[in-house]
């Protein structure tokens, strides 16, 4: 008889991890809906927990507080609607068409009810002394701006654009795409853009008049 001790049974995988991920996703989705519909102040953690089908303790254990949850909603929504693939160089495309593709998606994104609601939340008096605007910036706009700047750098290296400061140019491009229309939508002066394609095309053409190489490439 062998004196070797039998091997211990394999340890089962830690239970609940996929379930925890499902709960986290459900909380984010519930928070997105309630923040969009009721605003930051109007959406309580109790309501978010009930909407997600979890306890309030579960919400706090995943996200800590409502400010952090809001920032995570922003981050998740940006990553879902403006994925990394949107900012790939796509060298097979002429630079104007590449910027048009980016511009169409970005303008539709900033005009969406979720993003408009987020901007309205940040314009409320309660936010004046809150850390939430900075969290919002880091979770969404900062990542987008950085990704656009990286795209522009790669196009500069190809000779498609003549830009000295791609970070500044990225800010300018995104500001052009938002334009007056975004401000009017946020203020409730209009609900949508009647000609989004024309708006994006005008913004791209204006940008290229400033930054296209002199050889007309």
Q: Among all chains, which residue has been given the structure tokens 């053409």?
A: 205
**Measured between alpha carbons, how far is 32 from 168 in angstroms, rounded to an integer?**
31
Tokens 């068409």: give the residue: 97
Average model confidence (pLDDT) for the chain?
A: 87
Residue 178 has pLDDT above 90, yes or no: yes
According to the model, what pLDDT value does residue 187 have?
Answer: 86
Cα(61)–Cα(49) distance, rounded to whole angstroms?
12
pLDDT tens profile 62-89: 999 998 999 899 999 999 999 999 999 9
- Is the model's pLDDT at 132 over the cut of 70? yes
Q: What number is the average pLDDT over the span 16-41?
A: 86
- Compute the average pLDDT of residues 207-214: 95
Which is higher by pLDDT, 56 or 3?
56
How much is the average pLDDT of 197-203? Answer: 96
Mean pLDDT of all residues in 188-213 = 91
> Per-residue confidence at 177, pLDDT binned at 50, 70, 90?
very high
pLDDT band at residue 19 using 50, 70 and 90 as cut-offs: low
* Burial group, residue 47, by CB count within 10 angstroms (0-12, 13-18, 19+): middle
pTM score:
0.81
Conformational region of residue 200, where left means phi above 0, alpha means psi within -120 to 50, and beta covers everything else: alpha
Q: Per-domain residue ranges for the chain?
A: 19-64, 79-211
| pLDDT on residue 17 | 55
- The tokens describing 184, both together, are 């009017």
What percent of the chain clears pLDDT 70, i.e. is strictly above it?
90
Tokens of 27: 């909380």
Joined tokens for residue 63:
């996200």
CATH T-level fold of 19-64: Arc Repressor Mutant, subunit A (1.10.10)
Residue 29 CA to residue 48 CA, distance in Å, equals 9
Q: Which CATH architecture has domain 79-211?
A: Orthogonal Bundle (1.10)
pLDDT score at 5: 46
CA 94, 98, 103, 104 torsion-angle sign: positive
Work out the number of other CB atoms within 10 angstroms of the CB of residue 180: 9
Helix, strand counts (H, E) of the chain? 10, 0
CA angle at 130 for the pair 81 and 177, rounded to the nearest 5°? 35
Q: Is the pLDDT of residue 163 over 80?
A: yes
């Amino acid at each position: 008889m062998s004196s070797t001790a039998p091997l211990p049974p394999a340890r089962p995988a830690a239970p609940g991890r996929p379930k925890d991920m499902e709960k986290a996703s459900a909380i984010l989705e519930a928070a997105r809906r309630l923040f969009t519909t009721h605003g930051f102040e109007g959406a309580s953690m109790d309501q978010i927990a009930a909407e997600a089908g979890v306890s309030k303790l579960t919400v706090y254990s995943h996200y800590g507080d409502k400010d952090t949850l809001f920032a995570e909603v922003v981050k998740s929504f940006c990553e879902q609607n403006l994925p990394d693939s949107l900012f790939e160089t796509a060298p097979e495309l002429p630079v104007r068409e590449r910027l048009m593709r980016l511009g169409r998606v970005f303008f539709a994104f900033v005009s969406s009810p979720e993003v408009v609601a987020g901007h309205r939340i940040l314009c409320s008096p309660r936010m004046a002394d809150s850390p939430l605007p900075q969290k919002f910036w880091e979770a969404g706009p900062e990542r987008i701006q950085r990704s656009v700047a990286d795209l522009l750098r790669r196009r500069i290296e190809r000779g498609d654009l003549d830009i000295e400061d791609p970070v500044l140019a990225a800010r300018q491009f995104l500001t052009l795409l938002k334009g007056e229309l975004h401000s009017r939508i946020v203020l409730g002066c209009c609900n949508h853009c009647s000609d989004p394609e024309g708006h994006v095309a005008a913004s791209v053409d204006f940008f290229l008049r400033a930054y296209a190489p002199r050889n007309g490439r």
